[in-house]
Amino acid sequence: MADMPVVAVITAKPGSEKLVGEALSALIEPTRAEAGCVSYDLFVSAADPATFITMETWRSQADLDAHLQTPHVQGALGAAGEHLAQAPAIHPLSPHSAS
């Protein structure tokens, strides 16, 4: 089975960018250590500093599902939850066929 790329978009409420960014930054090291994680990178939008984007690759949907239930993800969501403009948008990706 091919690895599964994932993009997540997380938007902070105005004035909460630093707090949300810190909560998300704390996820990098433990997430990269997860068995099913191939890669995990965090970015902030140059067009909108309240928008954070993770570019991730997981071995499987099951690995992504397990990641979302880890204590470090649940802790980050708990810390940042009320500071988010909306729920994180998580997008598992598949290749687009131009046919």
Helix (H, G, I), strand (E, B) or coil at 63: helix
Parse the chain into domains and list their residue ranges: 12-92
DSSP string, 17-49: HHHHHHHHHHHHHHHHTSTTEEEEEEEE-SS-T
Residue 1 tokens read as: 């089975």
Query: Is the per-residue pLDDT at 97 higher than 90?
Result: no
Percent of the chain with pLDDT over 70: 98
Q: Write down the number of H helices and E strands in the chain.
A: 3, 4
Contact between 22 and 76 (Cβ < 8 Å) = no
Q: Which CATH number fits domain 12-92: 3.40.190.10, 3.40.50.1400, 3.30.70.100, 3.40.50.2300?
A: 3.30.70.100
- pLDDT of 2: 84
Q: How many CB atoms lie within 10 A of CB 87?
A: 10
Tell me the average pLDDT of the chain.
Answer: 95
- pLDDT of 1: 59
- Give the residue-averaged pLDDT of 79-99: 90
